[in-house]
Amino acid sequence: MGINRKSRYGWLALRWLAAILVAAFVMASTDLPARAADPTIPDFWSSTERLQKPDLSGLQRLRFLTTVNFPPFNFLDTDGQLTGFNVDLARAICAELDILDKCQIQALPFGELGTALGKGEGEAVIAGLAITPKSREEFAFSRSYLRFPARFIMPKSTALTEPIYSKIAGLRIGVMAGSGHERMLRAYFPDVKPVTFTRQDWLYESLRDRKIDGAFGDGMRFSFWLAGTDSKGCCRFAGGPYLAPEYLGEGMAIAVAKDNFPLAAAFDYALREITVKGKFAELYLRYFPVSFY
């Protein structure tokens, strides 16, 4: 069982790594005007906000709990080493808080993370636990460090620019059936003609074959498809990112024990400093070379 699981996770990791490499190649081989524009880096911090650096001298250990099957955030690389955006971010946080010698990262099955945190087997979970009213009853959270915007993608020759609202009326826009993106599309853009799909690959195929005018969905997933070979260079992002927590959730944050607000505040300080100093941008572009913002 362990060998099969590791092989499966390795296969998932290879798919993501391949997508990242293809994305990097596409960026390097595009024309000069396209390369001139700097990629947009998500930043959820006020430029005027100042947070106090915490004193963690009394902290004996900071163990982050994560998983191995959520690439590109946490996964096993081809050598069986735990890696990913969340793993590197956890290390950057420890460095910013000057506690690298006290930091550990342990991988567990996703379903065991909350229990392990409650038992004190770790101090923080960095694995994409959903921030919901129910989860807030069990955990305290840092502020969100990454959110997943909805985006439009369209054929390059017909891709629209902002403001999109008035231009998109009457267009056939593909979206995954029953998703938050479908609800959002119908609420935000009532004049479009939604075309629902039950499989992501069918949506992509229809867009590539020009059977629909565009697609609306998760910007991160779209970014890897656009940069991959399956898209055949057909399409690009149209318009800007749309953030809507009521439909898409609050994104990714670090969970700690319910009463451990000082540690959550320490993470907020570190995350802001990492952003201000450019380390977050470095990690973001390492794992998402085609920005989905």
pLDDT single digits (tens) 129-161: 999 999 999 999 999 999 999 999 999 999 999
pLDDT at residue 173 tops 50: yes
Residue 145 CB burial class (10 angstroms; 0-12, 13-18, ≥19): buried
Average pLDDT over residues 162-177: 95
- CA dist 185 and 187 (Å) reads 6
Instruction: Write the pLDDT tens digit of every residue in 72-105.
Output: 999 999 899 999 999 999 999 999 999 999 999 9
- CA dist 242 and 168 (Å) reads 15
Name the pLDDT band for 50 (thresholds 50, 70, 90): confident
- CA dist 252 and 66 (Å) reads 13
pLDDT of residue 12: 47
pLDDT at residue 22 tops 60: no
Closest by alpha carbon to 130, among 221, 248, 215, 27?
248
Average pLDDT over residues 263-279: 96
**What domains sit in the chain, N to C, each tagged with a CATH number?**
2-146+250-287 (3.40.190.10), 150-248 (3.40.190.10)
